[in-house]
Structure formats: C-alpha cells, structure tokens
Structure 1
Amino acid sequence: MIIEIDSLDNYEDFIKDISIDQCFLDPHFSYDSGNLYRALEKKNQMVYVTRKNDEVTGIYAWLVIPEEQYVELIVGLSRRRESWEEMLSFIETQNPNSKMDFVINPQNKVLIDILISKQATFEEETKKLRLVRTKELNINSKVEELPEKYKDQYLSLHNKDTYWTGERVLEAKDRFRVLVAIEHEEVVGYLDITSSFPENEPYDLFTKEGYKEYRKALVSKAIELNSPKGMMVQVEVNNTEDISLYESLGFEGIEGSDSTYAYYKTQQG
C-alpha cells in the first residue's frame, strides 16, 4: 500500500534505522537530511510511504515535473525489494514517457538489481568533496564571469547530454554563475556553479584540449566569488586528477557520499 504523507513525525525511527545502514543509506539524505524533510513543502515534490500489514517498508521523496516529463528520486529509504517495485510501478504509471533519474548508494544491490532489470543506464560512481579550508588560490585575469559577447561560444562548447544545458543554465540566472576562461578572444573553458545557496556546487567544469591549466584558475575564481558561502563538488571516484585538483584548493571527501547516477525512460501511456 502506498500513502502520500504531509508529515514525517511518525516515521523518525524508520528513517534513522535505514539512514545508518551502509548498504541502504541514501546519498542525498546522508549529505543533507533536509532533502527529505523539505520535500514535504517544495513545489513539484511529494513524499510517499509504503506499508505491508501495517508495517512501514519504505519512505520516498520524489520530484515530478510533468510538463518536462521528468522525474527524480530525491530520497529513497527501504531494504525491501517489494517496496521499491511497488513504488516505482506507481510512479511509472503516473508519469508515462518520462525520464526517471536516480542518485543511488552503490552498495544498494536491491535497487541496482531492479534498475538493471529496467535496462537503466548507469554512470560512473562518484563521491562528494567539501571545501573545508581555503588554500592559496590560482587567480588568473583571463577568467571572468561570462560576458554577453561570449555567450554563443560558451553555448557551442557546452555539454548537451545533461539536464542543465547551457541554455537552461543561462535562463536560471537566480541559481547559477557562469565563469569562462578567455584566450585571444576565444572561450577555452567554462565552469557552471550554483550561486544562490548557503553551500554552492560546481556543476560542469570544462576546458579545451591544451588549456587544462585553466581548470584550477576557474575553480579558484569560483571560490573567491563564492566566499563566505560554503562549496561542495561531486566527482567520479576514479577521476584522480580532478580529486587532486579540488584537494589542492582545500576540499576534503564527505563520508557516506559515494553514489551512482542512473536513469531510464518510462513506457508510453
């Protein structure tokens, strides 16, 4: 049985039990438990409980944007395969022909097996690092906030295979800051980073071949402009180069933040 709820007061013991289990904890919850609690009030977000014989078997927070045919699991807490299957079936039925996004615990074999059965696409495992101290920054005068005249160059370079395309980033001026590295009137790198939160996050760091030295300069400028707010970044666990870059600027790994991004498309209605 699935029930939509407007309070989590009666479920704290269940939440605590699952959230400390290394095999079933949710990365979004471990990073910020508010991701679950705020879903009760946020637009386009809802929280569901699954039950079997009056026993709570799962708690799930979802983001659903029907006009974009987009669904994202914000937090999922359950050990039970039948709970996950019931919840996913419900969401799929309510949202046909939609993209389903998941950020999951790599140790959650129950959910991973279900997603494999749905022919989901999995990306590389990632981890989060948080800025804990400010080291010497590599400030370069060729790195600046995106000027209007370079907008088309930025868009042509931007990653297209992502929800936050260059166009969407530029439309969300209240959410994002865009930094670019410019050599001889040419954009050779960019960094999209959030700017409106107490802790902001680089979303996309890119440099053209031969201009890798600007990666540190772009992140350094972002740290400078972001101060005194916090900063967190998500990187692939095997990307030792980027991990070293961020560690050199004062970032440290966040325990329990390892995750895997997966997605699939629901069937036509």
Structure 2
Amino acid sequence: PVPVFKSELTGLTLPANAEIIAEGFIDPNELMDEGPFGEYTGYYSGNKGKDYPKPILRVERILHRNNPTMWSTTVGKPINDIHMIQSLNRTATLWHDLETMRVPGIEGVYIPAEACGRFWAVVSVRQKYPGHSNQVGNAVIASTTGHYGVKGVIVVDHDIAADDWDRVWWALSTRFDPKRSAQIIDRGRSTPLDPGLPIEAREITSRIILDACTPFEWTNKPNEIFMNREVLQKVSDRWNDYGFDGASPVANMIDRLVKPEAIKTKKK
C-alpha cells in the first residue's frame, strides 16, 4: 500500500511520499494550443498544437519534499535517455506481440535507439517454410506495437542477432535483392510527430519491409565462409608478438567467425 493524504484544496487523495505535487483545476471547456515542444524525433512539434488544442491545468499550489528530486528525460536527437527507454520497452512489447500472435521461429527482436526507439524494427527468424520471413515482416506491422509509427522492418536469418548492426548490414548487402526482397505497404498509421511527412498530412505513412534472409525454398544456397577456431585463437594469443599494443580485438570476434556448430560444442 502507498501512504496517502487528503488534500484540503481539491479533496483528492494524494501520495504522501511524492517528490513534487502540482495541484490545480482543469476546466474541460478551456483549451489552448499545445507547444511547440522539442520531441524525441530531434525536431520541434511544429504547429501540431494548433490542430490538437489541449485542456489547461491552472496550478493553485505546489507541494514538495525537502530537497526534492524532479524526474525528467532529455528530449532531442538520438541517442539519449528517451530513445534508450523507448528502444527497451518497445523491443520487449514487440517480441511479446509476435509470440502472442504465434509467429514461429522468432530468435531476436530489436527496435534501435538510433531510430528514435520507434520508426524501425529488426527481427531475427529461424525460417521453417517458404514465405516465413515475409510473414514476420507483415506481422510486425500488424502487431499492437508495430502498427503505430513503424516505417520499416528488417528481417534477418537466425544466425544474425537483431541488434548486431555490423551483421545486419552484411545481410542487407549479401542476402537482399531490392526487387525480390523489398515490399512497400501503403496507408499505415503514422504519428503526428513524424517530421518525414508533410505537417498537414501526418496521419498516414507508407511502410517498407526489407527481407534480408536467404529464401527458404532455395535448394542451392550460397556457402558461407567460416574460419578455423584454433588459428584465430593463436592469432589472438600472439597479438602483442606481432608488434600491436593492447588487448587483441580478435578475441571478441572468434565466435562470430567460426561455424555455429563449433560455438555450441565449445559452450557445452
């Protein structure tokens, strides 16, 4: 239970341990243009407030603890705290959505902070049938999290972590064909804060799915290059013998460069 007390000003029950409480009154018939405010997109909200007038709180008094802490977020260009928070919670909710929708084979989900924690999503999938990766891309857009504001989905195979940007770019470079693998979808729900759309027409956006997976139905798939673990380990161990200073960068690359089966054997 949370300790509370009754306000003699408004008669409302208020949390007794709150850092700061602003008390006042709202007249539902008194509206005012909002902003413009700086937003998580890195732009001001423009004339959005003129289209969406909001109720006003007339503050009568402010209560606070001694030396109170005022919580806030830093709003601006990525990456700052609000983008990391949005990336974390929207990644989790999107993964939950896909599992709830019973989309099989999901290995990883990531909504990048670099994309303002909203506009792009990356999903790693272990394909089980032809068209599976396309199903995943469309499921993201149809999900509770993805249907609002997401403009692009990148789908990669299970051997690539959704949050490993180096490998995601590699997949887009070597497993993606623009004609076969890109799908444009019209008329998706947008956010009125998207500066990539005309300010007078921000309700609707197009979407794109970039399928960076090797097609499941291909019988003749490209052979991926893998390196020998023992050779890589030897190079890493002798890094300083070669005249290089500091720790070997090869040590952190070994698991990415050897066969996945070799990684599983090593970890057992």
Name the TM-score class by shorter chain: under 0.3
Which gives a bigger RCO, structure 1 or 2 (Cα 8 Å, sep 6+)? 1
Relative to total residues, which structure has the larger strand share, 1 or 2?
A: 1
TM-score of the aligned structures, taking structure 1 as reference length: 0.25
TM-score of the aligned structures, taking structure 2 as reference length: 0.25
